[in-house]
Amino acid sequence: MVTTATPVQVVYKRPASLSDTPTHYCPGCTHGIAHRLIAEVMDEMNIRERAIGVAPVGCSVFAYNYFTCDFVEAAHGRAPAMATGIKRVLPDRVVFTYQGDGDMASIGMSEIVHAAGRGENITVIFINNAIYGMTGGQMAPTSLPGQKTTSSPTGRDVESMGFPMKMAELLSQLEGAGYVVRRSLHDPKNIRMAKKAIRLAFETQIRGLGFSMVELLSTCNTNWGVSVLEAMQYLKDHMLPVYPIGDYKVSPALENLRV
């Protein structure tokens, strides 16, 4: 297209930490954005050779196919327990789990809370899209009040079905947590902020400052029953008021760190 002799600069190219496998995610799924951010951070920090990921059960169950770092697959919800074991046996590795809301906030609730309580030096990337994606759009612990899902067809009634689980707020109360934040993936600005947060979470782990978690607000256009762009708008209009973006716990040792 361009034939001049002007020097050309590559502004962006696919990160080396992502494998060549095309993902199985629906078009426009923010899982892909989260994968890409983790891969970019691994490239930037040059930790791919010593990073070990733990894949969850859920839509991201095949995450191990999409990264070029080492990866293991955990039983449903048990990724933090598996990561704990790996990190304790191989303390020089960077161990992270990648979990969805059904995996982490429902069946894996006890594992995540105890891992944070013990202050395990692991990083958790938590994808919160307020629904069970893989199983067909059932209500998740993180579903919004009034949200229609296949198992709450008249909307989530908080009197009988309870209130959404706010994982970032919940885990930030524990002393073992070193870095707990919530970010969103709905526009370029927030995606950049999410990438910085993932970087800081890995820095927390490398510095041995305790448990780190980045909650990423995500979309599920297929099971929300809307288009890709409507899903981004829904996230902005309905999820952000319930799940405010913010730093819920930042270890004092990280405050002066610039990335």
Partner 1 sequence: MPVKGWIEVDERYCKGCELCISECPQNVLALDLDHLTPKGYHPVMLKMEGCTGCGICAIMCPEAALTVYREVPQKAAQAVQPSGG
Instruction: Give the interface segment with partner 1, choosing from 35-43, 45-53, 171-179, 206-214 (CB under 8 A).
Output: 35-43
- Specify burial of residue 89 (Cβ count, 10 A radius: 0-12, 13-18, 19+): exposed
Residue 252 interacts with partner 1 (CB under 8 A)? no
CA–CA dist 237, 251 (Å, integer): 31
Q: How many residues touch partner 1 (CB under 8 A)? A: 36
Which residues face 149 on adjacent strands? 152
- Looking at the Cβ atoms of 39 and 197, the one nearer to partner 1 is 39
Tokens of 230: 């409507």
Closest to 68 measured CA to CA, from 28, 89, 40:
40
Bridging pattern class, strands 177-184 and 246-250: antiparallel
Residue 22 interacts with partner 1 (CB under 8 A)? yes
Within positions 204 to 233, which residues make up the interface with partner 1, using CB under 8 A? Answer: 228-229, 232
- Looking at the Cβ atoms of 39 and 52, the one nearer to partner 1 is 39
Tokens of 42: 């691994």
Residue 102 C-beta: closest distance to partner 1, Å: 20
Residues 6+ apart with CB under 8 A from 233: none
φ, ψ of residue 97 to 5 degrees: the values are -110, 155
Residue 232 C-beta: closest distance to partner 1, Å: 8
Residue 31 C-beta: closest distance to partner 1, Å: 7
Residue 3 interacts with partner 1 (CB under 8 A)? no
Q: What are the residues binding partner 1 (CB under 8 A)?
A: 1-2, 4, 6-15, 18, 20, 22-23, 25-33, 35-36, 39, 187-188, 191-192, 228-229, 232
